[in-house]
Amino acid sequence: KHSALMNAFKQGYDRLRGKRRSPSVNWLRPSGGNVDKMKSVAEASLAQGHDYVEFMLHSSEFMPGGSPTFKTEQDIEGLYRDLEQLFDWLQPRAVGMTLAEYYQSKKS
């Protein structure tokens, strides 16, 4: 949600006030040309011992004009290129599943 610098500033300000705030969530979410950032988010999450990395994109964002981020066919093609690179990189590190499948794996 916020940059590392902004998180550090907010946490420093809160410490001065005697409060603690956890850092903002780093979403594994495409925004166009942010493959390296998404890889960093996934890598950090896995390095912290999490057994999941949650990816988020609304179905309307897979079509031109479906979101302010991906307005044109070129934007959508770029999105697919970014996702292909991300998933190729993630494949040896993670197993894809839905939230329901993840729940079932934890339940049993």
Reading the chain (108 residues) residue by residue, the pLDDT tens digits are 566 677 677 777 777 888 765 555 677 899 999 999 999 999 999 998 888 888 889 999 999 999 999 999 999 999 999 999 999 999 999 999 998 999 999 997
pLDDT of residue 5: 73
| Residue 1: per-residue pLDDT | 56
Q: How far apart are the C-alpha atoms of 80 and 58, rounded to whole Å?
A: 14
Count the domains in the chain. Answer: 1
Q: What is the pTM of this model?
A: 0.72
Question: Is 3 contained in some domain?
Answer: no
pLDDT at position 22 is 56
The amino acid present at 41, given as its one-letter code, is V
Residue 20 placed within a domain? no
Rounded CA separation 59/64 (Å): 11
- Does residue 2 form part of some domain? no
The neighbour count for residue 17, using CB atoms within 10 Å, is: 9
In a domain, 8, yes or no: no
| Domain range for 62 | 25-107
Distance CA 102, CA 106 (A): 6
Confirm whether 88 is domain-assigned: yes
Q: What is the pLDDT of residue 25?
A: 62
